[in-house]
Amino acid sequence: MTAYWILSFSSHLCSFYQLHRFSKEHEVILDREVQLERGFLIWGFKKDPTDFEYFFPLKMHETWLVHTSEDQYYLLIFSTAVCSLRCISFCLELCWHPLQAGGPNHCPLLEVKGLKTLIFQFYKLTAFCFYHPLFYNGPIVTYRDFSEQIDKPVCKVSAVFVLSGILRVCVWWCLAKFMIHVMYMHAIQSNESYLEMLPPWALGGLALALVQFFYVNYLVLFGVVSLLVRLDGLEPPKLPRCVSIMYSFTGMWGHFDMGLDKWLIRYVPLGVSRHGVFRKLISTALAFGFVCFWHGCHDYLQYWALLNWIGVLVENVLALLVSSRSLHHIIVSRLSPRMQRRGLALISALSTAFLILSNLGGIHVGRIFWKRLFVQGWSSVAVPVVAFLYCFAQVGIEWDMR
């Protein structure tokens, strides 16, 4: 296992270094095209300002009452989108458990408890929707969890816990800043010419850097919010798991944004998935369709949702086949536990490759990566890529077994 850790870590460093070299070699042209900003974290380095998801949340707390700028417009749109999930959660919980939400359980609301009950319901809704730490960017919390925790006595949080939380967020923030200073990944990603020019190692480094930066960005955003929420005595969803040790579509959806995953499981009608393969197809399609629609339903989001849906379905079909009595007996009788794990890691490596391709931020990016890595470079590039992804999968499997 130590060898897998070393190979995984070394491949990250090597590919990131190659991407850094490419970034510095083309810094002048990139600066002319995307206007790189003066860096402040590392002396003499510029920073890549083209990632919207990183720089937009940093500006969201400045002003937001009216959208006099593009940033404020996106803030209004995104805050409204997150608020809509809270409204859906509140309304469904009210329908399912009217007494717990403050309403009657048998007659129309206004006929039994009148205006006071309606006002009380509205008060609970606004308290849930406009709870400030969660208001702008989440993470998503269901109304059931929020209402169960908000009325409990606030437990004292030690100074050591607070300081350690602040230190972790600062480390993640510095890491995110370091990445955009030494690797101009988003500027390179936005230009197809550079994607065609990148050496194989730098191309792999770009894919890893994009998904790793996305992960670190969410650690910063959710880390700050989670710390504030804990100070209020609430239990936030767990922080995202490192993407380098995620080796399946199912694991990505279950361990990255746990708040959204829990929301989907509770409120999207998945019960029919227990009644046959066809109904399972429909239920999972509903979940991915809702996520696509909620994110904006753009063309690239439709492809992203479709690829993730197919990935989850293929993994579930393979799991059903392997768990069938006849095939399971053959596997157990003819393969040792180590060989079974190696087979799982190999299948997971292929799944991870498609998982990364589906999360690279656009149709054109995924198409170029697929062409260069698995079509043009099937004999020279694809094999090393799958080999390193195999190491990542082994590390992830070991992590899950702890």
Residues 218 and 253 in one domain: no
Which whole-number Å values give the CA distances from 245 to 29, 136, 344, in the listed order? 35, 29, 14
User: What band does 17 get if pLDDT is binned at 50, 70 and 90?
Assistant: very high
pLDDT at position 51: 65
296 lies in some domain: yes
Residues 158 and 235 in one domain: yes
Residues 344 and 268 in one domain: yes
User: What band does 213 get if pLDDT is binned at 50, 70 and 90?
Assistant: very high
Q: How far is the C-alpha of 401 from the C-alpha of 91, rounded, in Å?
A: 39
- Per-residue pLDDT averaged across 256-274, rounded? 80
Residues 128 and 164 in one domain: no
Q: How far is the C-alpha of 64 from the C-alpha of 59, rounded, in Å?
A: 10
pLDDT at position 233: 85
Model confidence pLDDT, tens digit, residues 95-140: 887 755 555 444 454 455 567 777 888 888 999 999 988 888 878 9
Total number of domains in the chain = 3
47 lies in some domain: no
What global pTM score does this model have?
A: 0.85
pLDDT at position 374: 81
User: What band does 3 get if pLDDT is binned at 50, 70 and 90?
Assistant: confident
Average pLDDT across the chain, whole number: 83
Residue 295 known to be catalytic = yes
Residues 263 and 337 in one domain: yes
In this predicted structure, the answer to whether residue 76 has a pLDDT above a threshold of 60 is yes
In this predicted structure, the answer to whether residue 87 has a pLDDT above a threshold of 70 is yes
249 lies in some domain: yes
Residues 315 and 389 in one domain: yes
Q: Which among 67, 295, 298, 364 is annotated as catalytic?
A: 295
Residues 236 and 246 in one domain: no
143 lies in some domain: no
Domain that holds residue 262: 241-402
Q: Mark which of 240, 261, 278 sits at the end of a domain.
A: 240
323 lies in some domain: yes
User: What band does 381 get if pLDDT is binned at 50, 70 and 90?
Assistant: confident
Q: How far is the C-alpha of 319 from the C-alpha of 16, rounded, in Å?
A: 34
Residues 368 and 301 in one domain: yes
Considering 104-108, 266-270, 346-350, the range whose residues carry the highest mean pLDDT is 346-350
148 lies in some domain: no
pLDDT at position 215: 92
Residues 248 and 226 in one domain: no
Model confidence pLDDT, tens digit, residues 139-194: 899 999 998 888 787 778 888 989 999 999 999 999 988 898 888 888 888 888 88
In this predicted structure, the answer to whether residue 55 has a pLDDT above a threshold of 70 is no
pLDDT at position 251: 87
356 lies in some domain: yes
Residues 224 and 300 in one domain: no
Residues 160 and 218 in one domain: yes
In this predicted structure, the answer to whether residue 342 has a pLDDT above a threshold of 80 is yes
pLDDT at position 104: 47
Q: Mark which of 221, 240, 259 sits at the end of a domain.
A: 240
pLDDT at position 41: 61
In this predicted structure, the answer to whether residue 318 has a pLDDT above a threshold of 80 is yes
Residues 267 and 164 in one domain: no
187 backbone φψ class: left, alpha, beta (φ>0; ψ -120 to 50): alpha
Q: Mark which of 187, 205, 240 sits at the end of a domain.
A: 240
73 lies in some domain: yes
